[in-house]
Amino acid sequence: MRIRLAVIWGCALCGCETVVDLDVPGGYEPKLIIESQFSPDSLWTMRAGKSTAFGATADPRDLIVPDARIVIFGEGRFRDTLRHVGNGIYRTTNNLRPASGYVYRVQAAAPGLPSAEARGWAPPLESEWVEMQAAANSGSTESDPYTVRLRMADLPGGNYYSLTLYQVVTVCRNARGFIRIENGPGYSSRYQVNVFRSTWPSFRSYVEAVDDPTYPDLDNTYWTAFFSDELFEATTREFTITFTPTVTEPDNQLFMLVLTALSDDLFAYERSLELHDYYLFGPSLTTTRPVTVYTNVAGGLGIFAGYTSDTYRFDLEGNPWEEKDVSFGEPGPCR
């Protein structure tokens, strides 16, 4: 019989639902869902839950799996058993992190559910800061006043990347509970995405547009630029972005540029999510087909895939800064 499957993380986890069509003889059997998008910057963490048939009445809290056994294996004798810390979240007990360039394997089992297994890695990334400068014609309204250049060495094989620029802003919480950008003594800071521009031909505004010639180029403006190495495989290239600060107060002149290398599995997963959402919420369901969300988990559902990021923090003079010197935290009340 054909049924519709709802993979629900619910409000207890990440608040999203994925619908997948499956042919299941005799009825639907729940599957174990494991999800970890891992990085060398973070400790090993994973979510675990179980799927349910679309249309079934289920409390999201009942779909959390608190009694799974999750073990991660790596090259050599690497082994780490994750412990449940609440709400279906499992973490390392040994303060271990993934390393880029190494393949890891996860085995997961839970009572009453089929076991699941997956392999993934965080690809290596080689990049360096070249320079930042104010544009010579910064007084013009037709160009951005600041330019940043990065150099990146692409490794052999097909690779995928993203680039995002953030500005540090100070925020507070108003009487209605909403967060707003405002300067004030003792206010906390947070990152806000800052739009940038570039004419680099590999950049795309949407992850689903990468390597797809049917998507038209827009106006070279990006919140996040997604790209592959299709035009520069296994070579070293420099690329340039220009930007104007979103907030111009003196206390908000700190920026962070994040270049990320995504594994093939993670790119396929992110691309399928976007296409799936477009099918559900796009302008015309009659011209698109249902999209199955990508999974690399054998015996279950979810994703086990990694990424590696190079992060560059700078001010408008091009000088580096460190997060420990800025007050990040929960915003206090506006004064």
The Cβ of residue 43 has, within 10 Å, a number of other Cβ atoms equal to: 15
Helices (H), the chain: 264-281
Give the 3-state secondary structure of residue 223. Answer: coil
Residue 130 belongs to what H/E stretch? strand 126-134
Which structure tokens are listed for 281? 């919420």
Regarding pTM above 0.95, the answer is: no
Look at residue 249 in the predicted model and tell me its pLDDT.
82
- Mean pLDDT split into 10-residue runs, the chain, 335 residues: 38 44 61 97 97 76 93 94 97 95 97 97 97 69 81 95 96 89 86 95 92 78 96 95 90 92 97 82 60 93 98 95 91 88
CATH of domain 126-264+308-325: 2.60.40
CA–CA distance, 140 with 248 (Å, rounded to integer) = 17
Domain boundaries for CATH 2.60.40 within the chain: 32-122, 126-264+308-325
Look at residue 219 in the predicted model and tell me its pLDDT.
80
Of 119, 37, 114, nearest to 72 by C-alpha is 119
Look at residue 13 in the predicted model and tell me its pLDDT.
41
Which structure tokens are listed for 147? 């330019």
The residues, ordered by sequence, that sit 6+ positions from 97 with a Cβ below 8 Å of its Cβ are 40, 41, 42, 43, 44
Look at residue 14 in the predicted model and tell me its pLDDT.
43
Query: Per-residue b/e over 74-108, b at no fewer than 16 CB within 10 Å?
Result: beeeeebebebeeebbbbbeeebebbbeeebebeb
CA–CA distance, 172 with 191 (Å, rounded to integer) = 13
Residues 39-43: contacts with CB under 8 Å, at least 24 apart:
39/98, 39/122, 39/306, 39/307, 39/308, 39/309, 40/97, 40/98, 40/99, 40/100, 40/122, 40/308, 41/97, 41/309, 42/97, 43/91, 43/92, 43/95, 43/96, 43/97
The conformation of residue 140, written as its DSSP 8-state character, comes to -
Q: Is residue 309 a contact partner of residue 125, using CB atoms and an 8 Å limit? A: yes
Residue listed under structure tokens 């009825």: 27
CA–CA distance, 308 with 102 (Å, rounded to integer) = 12
Phi-psi region of 325 (alpha: psi -120 to 50; beta: other; left: phi over 0): alpha
CA–CA distance, 85 with 67 (Å, rounded to integer) = 11
Residue listed under structure tokens 């009694």: 67
Look at residue 292 in the predicted model and tell me its pLDDT.
86
Look at residue 6 in the predicted model and tell me its pLDDT.
44
Burial class of residue 253, CB neighbours in 10 A (0-12, 13-18, 19+): middle
For Cα atoms 192, 190, 121, give the angle at the middle one, nearest 5 degrees: 75
CATH of domain 32-122: 2.60.40
What type of residue is 236? T
